[in-house]
Structure 1
Amino acid sequence: MAKCKRCGKWGIFLKLNSFGQCEKCEKELAEAARLERERKKAAFWEELNNLPHAEIRRDGVKQKAQSVSYLKEAMTYPRVTAKSNPAKFADFVVLDTETTGLSCTKDAVLEVAAIKVMGYKFVEVFHTMITPPPQKLSMDSAREAMSVNGITPEMLEGAPMLYQIIPSLQEFIGDMPLLGHNLEFDLKFLCRAGLDVTPETRRFYDTYELAGHLLKKPKWSYDRETGGYGPNYNQNYDVMDYKLETLCAHFWIDRMDAHRALGDCVDTAKVFRYLLEKKIDTTADYDN
């Protein structure tokens, strides 16, 4: 007869999972794990909400859309080596937006979030919803995006326009390094509205770019059976892709609020720290 390793129940027809647990115990453990995750998230958000929140004014003036073609050339990323000094990367502002689509010219920003990090610790929060132009909110791409991030039109009522909060965001980031996941995407929307990130001393960190250097994706090879090219899962690889969700799963990071700007800021900062720890030798003599 089968016996549950957890509750000790016996039975001829008792079904056990791969851990030797009966169905009842399996459900109880799953529910306990879910409640623990929710408790940890609630405690974390309480801690985050107790941090200083930046004052967000509405004194920005609407101006002609700025060119963002310079960003790709302006955004260079520091090289991370085993001898890099981890203290060099400890202070930054992590930034994220939620938008109605992928085009900075056709789509609009719905939410902006940034967290100031000092010594790898969160110290101040910038967060606001954004009222987009009505015509951009009614587009099919907007409805599709909002079905993913869970943002509703009601959540945007009374929110400032993007250009109105740019001076406050400019003050918040100051001259600090900027971190994001596919950071160029977010900056295109913000810089088009007037944000200036061009100081020569500015550093940029991107977890998407950094993961591409430190983690392997499956290599593609020709498959005779299908007659085409595809990922070769028989070879060693670390991750399927470099999406934020994939990287969080790889590093066993419980996502705080997926597909929302503030939650993605938190997760991006955590992924950044894990990527640095993966590469940097903490016993090395630091050369930079």
Structure 2
Amino acid sequence: MSSGTLAQEPRPASGARAAGRRLVASAPAAAGHGTPDHRSGLPFQPALDELGTPLHEVTFVVVDLETTGGSPRDCGITEIGAVKVRGGEVVGELQTLVDPGVPVPAFIARLTGITTSMVLGAPRIEAVLPSFLEFARGSVLVAHNAPFDVSFLKAAATRMDLAWPDNPVVDTVALARRVVTRDEAPNHKLATLAALFRATITPDHRALSDARATVDVLHALLARLAPLGITHLEDLATATDPVPPDVRRKRHLADGLPAGPGVYMFVGPRQEVLYVGTSTSVARRVRSYFTASEKRRRMTEMVRIAESVRAVPCATELEARVRELRLITEHAPRYNSRSKHPERMHWVSLTTEAYPRLTVLRQLRSTADGPVPHVGPFSSRGRAQEALEALHATHDVRQCTTRLPLNPSEKAAPCVLAEMGRCGAPCVPEGRRPASAPRVPYADVVADVATTMSGDPSTVVNALGRRIRDLSRDERFEDAANERDRLQSFLGGAARAQRARPLRECAELVAARPRTEGGWEIVVVRHGRLASTAVCGPHDDPHATVRSAVALAEDVAPPTPSAPACHPEETDIVLAWLRTPGVRLVSVTDPQTCPVGGAERYLTDTTTAEVVSNVV
């Protein structure tokens, strides 16, 4: 993250085209096609491009090739036949023999009736292919066993240095496998399907005849696919997916959703939010739930329950991620597995008592002097416990849970850890402490633990690193792995706390990142919470956008450890954005620094395993 001011655009500014956007996580959004708009209550009519292209409006070019063999690398094309159809009507045909430049094998001649003498004098593929590509421009290519025919055409284009067009391709073999059962036909060969559907042309291994037969087969297959909800070109792209019909029929829930970044919510029959997600293209992402690309069983179950999809359009990907997190926290959707319960996150902290000890907490505490040293948060209690064990292994802080008086009782007896030299035994009078107990004042032990947690973790890294090395040398690999996990958990929690602390304490930070298409993405962060975001166009005044974003930003009160300003993961998301290349600090009220020798040092540009392997 580099500091600096926003450069003024050379052209005169026309004002901030995009004003600051105040985040309101619970804002509803439009539902699907033919449903009321949730924002206004009025009927919602999606745009034509959101509905897709009906199949009767699609131009198909059905192509068939005859070749000298099965490999486009070693064989050539001997004939091309193509039929252009639209709305069930033939609008054009193309047929020509092609000189492959090599003799036609005898078995191919017997199969197709095309001999070497027939192709002598015919045009070469270099003359034919450009005409075919022009004939097929803007259409959907269709072939029976399309990978075979398309591979020959692509190979020829590559040899000619021609760019292959991005026409969609439909394979009638794949469609037939979807809707024609073995009870109806023993196989899915073109001749078999043509007989089944009573095509007007009988395929005879000549290109144009086979293409004409394929047209009849295509129309018959589309008629069978229509009751399954495949009525648009966009449906055809996933028609061969093994998707249950009841799931596919719900594809209309994606109609009318925004094509840009945002958050989407699947809503159940009682208007409960079932699932919250985010995407850079909401419409495309939601459509994917109704195809075979969605393989999660729980998601298929969720789609079956869902009755509508709501969307919250967002100006930027950062805003979308933050809104997603807030909505998940607010609604706790049963099909989301993360971030539902911030109160269940865990921290490792020192206690606030006469002789502090380490403990795992779900809510941080503070004193009159400020927050208590801590690391975390951790996503699970197990991770927090591993971090606590790492600190216990390297510091002689007490591990008993009894609340000790400031002046120890004369009758108190030292514990086993004190006898082992692992505890300073503050619970017993100084004269009765075991000789093996550390002589370091307990206050100094606590100060060392606090420094390790909030600053330099080298004590833990060095001690556990040596322990891992010794255990590995003795081939006690399971024990070494346990020590590695403790070290990784501690470093992760310490780094997270050290990164978040300065941002959480900062009253206001304004930053900007250049956009690929020009202009700037502006964010306003207050106490670690995303308070506002805005987009400035390439010819707008960025300073005007900054002023607008700051003026419209959410008011965020200074947090306390027991009531943070936002979900800890929101601060992590903002921090990750601030660390992306090109980000500039526009203004900041408090310094943003992390310890030079902090935990981040051991997690940057290397893995913990590599760090500990180099410990002396």
TM-score if structure 1 supplies the norm length?
0.56
Equivalences for residues 246-257 of structure 1 within 5 A: 246-257=192-203
User: What amino acid does structure 2 have at the position aligned with 1:131?
Assistant: D
Of structures 1 and 2, the larger Rg is shown by 2
User: What amino acid does structure 1 have at the position aligned with 2:80?
Assistant: V
Give me the whole-angstrom Cα distance separating, in 1, the residues matched to 2:73 and 2:89.
35
Give me the whole-angstrom Cα distance separating, in 1, the residues matched to 2:130 and 2:59.
21
User: What amino acid does structure 2 have at the position aligned with 1:177?
Assistant: V
Partner secondary structure for residue 148 of structure 1: helix
Q: CA deviation at 1:285?
A: 9.3
Give me the whole-angstrom Cα distance separating, in 2, the residues matched to 1:264 and 1:186.
12
- Give per-residue Cα distances to partners, 1:182-222, cap 9 Å, x unaligned: 111011111111164442xx3221110100111123xxxxx
Given candidates 168, 185, 195, the residue that maps to 2:148 is: 185
Corresponding residue for 2:181? 216
Question: Which runs of 5 or more residues in structure 2 are unaligned?
Answer: 1-52, 233-251, 256-616
Q: Quick one: percent identity of the two aligned structures?
A: 31
Corresponding residue for 2:131? 168
CA root-mean-square deviation: 2.5
Which structure ranks higher in relative contact order (CA pairs < 8 Å, sequence separation ≥ 6)?
1
Q: CA deviation at 1:177?
A: 0.6
Given candidates 207, 228, 232, the residue that maps to 2:172 is: 207
Residues 161, 238 of structure 1: alpha-carbon distance in 2 compared, 3 angstrom cutoff: same
Equivalences for residues 137-286 of structure 1 within 5 A: 137=103, 142-194=105-157, 196-199=163-166, 202-217=167-182, 237-281=183-227
- Kindly indicate whether the alpha-carbon contact (under 8 Å) linking 1:115 and 1:122 is maintained by their aligned counterparts in 2: yes
Give me the whole-angstrom Cα distance separating, in 2, the residues matched to 1:260 and 1:274.
21
Q: CA deviation at 1:256?
A: 3.8
- Kindly indicate whether the alpha-carbon contact (under 8 Å) linking 1:96 and 1:264 is maintained by their aligned counterparts in 2: yes
Residues 154, 192 of structure 1: alpha-carbon distance in 2 compared, 3 angstrom cutoff: same
| Matched pairs, number | 178
Q: CA deviation at 1:255?
A: 3.3
Q: CA deviation at 1:152?
A: 2.0
Corresponding residue for 1:8? none
Give me the whole-angstrom Cα distance separating, in 2, the residues matched to 1:105 and 1:262.
24
Residues 274, 284 of structure 1: alpha-carbon distance in 2 compared, 3 angstrom cutoff: closer
Q: CA deviation at 1:157?
A: 2.5
- Kindly indicate whether the alpha-carbon contact (under 8 Å) linking 1:104 and 1:188 is maintained by their aligned counterparts in 2: yes
Corresponding residue for 2:87? 119
Residues 245, 193 of structure 1: alpha-carbon distance in 2 compared, 3 angstrom cutoff: same
Residues 285, 177 of structure 1: alpha-carbon distance in 2 compared, 3 angstrom cutoff: closer
Give me the whole-angstrom Cα distance separating, in 2, the residues matched to 1:285 and 1:239.
24
Give me the whole-angstrom Cα distance separating, in 1, the residues matched to 2:68 and 2:120.
16
Corresponding residue for 2:76? 108
Residues 118, 156 of structure 1: alpha-carbon distance in 2 compared, 3 angstrom cutoff: same
Corresponding residue for 1:70? none
- Kindly indicate whether the alpha-carbon contact (under 8 Å) linking 1:86 and 1:280 is maintained by their aligned counterparts in 2: no
- Kindly indicate whether the alpha-carbon contact (under 8 Å) linking 2:200 and 2:216 is maintained by their aligned counterparts in 1: no
User: What amino acid does structure 2 have at the position aligned with 1:270?
Assistant: D
Give me the whole-angstrom Cα distance separating, in 1, the residues matched to 2:211 and 2:68.
18
Residues 239, 284 of structure 1: alpha-carbon distance in 2 compared, 3 angstrom cutoff: closer
- Kindly indicate whether the alpha-carbon contact (under 8 Å) linking 2:190 and 2:203 is maintained by their aligned counterparts in 1: no
Give me the whole-angstrom Cα distance separating, in 2, the residues matched to 1:284 and 1:240.
25
Give me the whole-angstrom Cα distance separating, in 2, the residues matched to 1:106 and 1:267.
28
Give me the whole-angstrom Cα distance separating, in 2, the residues matched to 1:285 and 1:169.
28
Corresponding residue for 1:12? none
User: What amino acid does structure 2 have at the position aligned with 1:152?
Assistant: T
Q: CA deviation at 1:252?
A: 2.1
- Kindly indicate whether the alpha-carbon contact (under 8 Å) linking 1:114 and 1:262 is maintained by their aligned counterparts in 2: yes
Residues 196, 180 of structure 1: alpha-carbon distance in 2 compared, 3 angstrom cutoff: farther
Q: CA deviation at 1:277?
A: 1.0
Give me the whole-angstrom Cα distance separating, in 2, the residues matched to 1:102 and 1:248.
23
Residues 264, 285 of structure 1: alpha-carbon distance in 2 compared, 3 angstrom cutoff: closer
- Kindly indicate whether the alpha-carbon contact (under 8 Å) linking 2:193 and 2:217 is maintained by their aligned counterparts in 1: yes
Q: CA deviation at 1:269?
A: 0.8
Give me the whole-angstrom Cα distance separating, in 2, the residues matched to 1:210 and 1:284.
11
Question: Which runs of 5 or more residues in structure 1 are unaligned?
Answer: 1-83, 218-236
- Give per-residue Cα distances to partners, 1:7-55, cap 9 Å, x unaligned: xxxxxxxxxxxxxxxxxxxxxxxxxxxxxxxxxxxxxxxxxxxxxxxxx
